[in-house]
Amino acid sequence: MQTEIQERVNKGEMLPLMEEFYTIQGEGFHKGTAAYFIRIGGCDVGCHWCDVKESWNADIHPPTEINQIVDNADKYSKTIVVTGGEPLTWDMGPLTQKLKEKGMQIHIETSGAYKLTGIWDWICLSPKKIKLPTPEVYEKAHELKVIIYNKNDFKFAEEQAEKVNNNCILYLQPEWSKRDTMMPKIVDYVMKNPKWKVSLQTHKYLNIP
């Protein structure tokens, strides 16, 4: 039975679901929008400042039928955000196809480190130095969100901005634990380089998931 489940996970018919919840999108272009979040377990990118490290080990999150995930989402919202972990660890085609059949607007938050699968209305690319995005994700990203932990990250942000398409919206976002230190630097940087915008984790200020 375990082998059969693993085969279905590999096909994207079941996914290691960490959590799902209805909330307000806190970051980037769609901040302030009511959305249903589907957080998929599994990530080997390993950012030291990740605030959901419990998502990394897919084995501790139960393989869940995608029909169940879609039915749950359909009770709450037509705007869906698939996040992780790293959702592109898995084949997102079957899940997004079923969400589309329900007429949903589907967003993904991804490091872009793996093959882009699935049908997406909005791709938020948040690249990591440890494992860089694939060329296809750079080409298709709607927004680029670079997390600023220290001053060296501004250079990384510019390197990433050179790789995305011309219509991609560029965001700099302070890493939460460093926000007091880095926010003045981000504000100054954006004012000097207005192609960039500031993104904040507004959901943390609102004290919501």
**Owner of token pair 């660890």:** 89
**pLDDT single digits (tens) 73-83:** 999 999 999 99
> Do 144 and 29 contact (CB within 8 A), yes or no?
no
Instruction: Report whether 42 contacts 85 (CB < 8 A).
Output: yes
Check which CATH number belongs to the domain holding 186 and give it. 3.20.20.70
Query: What are the angstrom distances between the C-alpha of 164 and each of 29, 56, 136, 141?
Result: 16, 27, 9, 7
What's the domain range around 140? Answer: 2-206
What is the structure's pLDDT at 97?
A: 98
Total domain count, the chain: 1
Regarding predicted confidence, which is higher, 65 or 57?
Answer: 65
Q: What is the mean pLDDT of residues 121-126?
A: 98
pLDDT the model gives residue 35: 97
CB 88 within 8 A of CB 112: yes
What's this model's pTM, rounded to 2 decimal places? 0.94
User: Minimal CA–CA distance to 97: which of 136, 135, 70, 76?
Assistant: 70
Indicate if the pLDDT at residue 1 is higher than 60: no
